[in-house]
Amino acid sequence: MIYLAAEAITAAAWKSPSYSYADNWISDLGSATAGVFQGRELDSPLHVVMNSGFIVQGLLFGIATVLLSRMISGRLRTFTAVTGIVTMIGYILVGTFHGSLQAQQNGTLPLHFTGATLAILGGNVLALVLGIHWRKTPQTRLIGLVSIVAGAFGLASVTALFLTFDAGLPSGAIERGSVYTIVIWQLAVATALLRSRGNSGAPRVAATSASTNTASTSN
């Protein structure tokens, strides 16, 4: 929610030109300098708000996934923690190194694009993989389906973004299809965990392996 609020506040501050959710990239909001970049005119007076949103989102995502991994057993635990940390690093890079003409000139633009790639791929891949895992257990089947849909749609969107980069399509909207899926997945998993904790005293969203092992031992 902090990330979405930062984006909305920063976008609303654009006056001339006005910010377009369809045509402007999300990273345009974080540009510290005004000017034309990749054919888009940038002027983001509250770029600090957006870049802070990127960094806070990354830190919270990293912390949350490490905590989530503690409820998962086996190699998937390591995968969850590592992928979450990689995603966190990606968000921090995006918030620290901006997408702008100045970044292109001073050589930091590759760091920005590297960060965006890590964040988008990391978040959506994690959603997809955990969704496949949760889908196998009746108690977590719904959140598993939501996770699979979110992750698959996000990966499809980022693929479409790369394939249609110069096609004149609304690249800002396509990009959001790969970023908002991560936010939706975060909210969905948080809701599932809170509901599970309220119903049984312990979150069962991720603890499927542990439940299976306990049932096997009892039998």
pTM: 0.87
C-alpha–C-alpha distance, residues 116 and 87, integer Å: 9
**Per-residue pLDDT tens over the stretch 75-133:** 999 999 999 999 999 999 999 999 888 888 889 999 999 999 999 999 999 999 999 99
- What are the structure tokens assigned to 107, written together? 């050589």
Decide if pLDDT at 210 tops 50. Answer: no
Among 173, 176, 174, which residue's Cα sits nearest to residue 22?
173
Residue 144 has φ and ψ, to the nearest 5°, of -65, -45
pLDDT at 206: 53
Among 94, 97, 99, which residue's Cα sits nearest to residue 123?
94
Residue 1 CB contacts under 8 Å (≥ 6 apart), including other chains: 187
Q: What is the DSSP letter of 168?
A: T
Q: How many residues does the chain have?
A: 219
For residues 67 and 136, the answer to whether their CB atoms sit within 8 Å is: no
The mean per-residue pLDDT over the stretch 186-198 comes to: 88
C-alpha–C-alpha distance, residues 201 and 207, integer Å: 13
Residue 63 CB contacts under 8 Å (≥ 6 apart), including other chains: none
Instruction: Give the H or E element holding residue 162.
Output: helix 141-163
**Per-residue pLDDT tens over the stretch 15-51:** 988 999 999 999 999 998 888 888 889 999 999 999 9
| Residue 94: half-sphere exposure toward Cβ, Cα within 13 Å | 31
C-alpha–C-alpha distance, residues 94 and 54, integer Å: 7
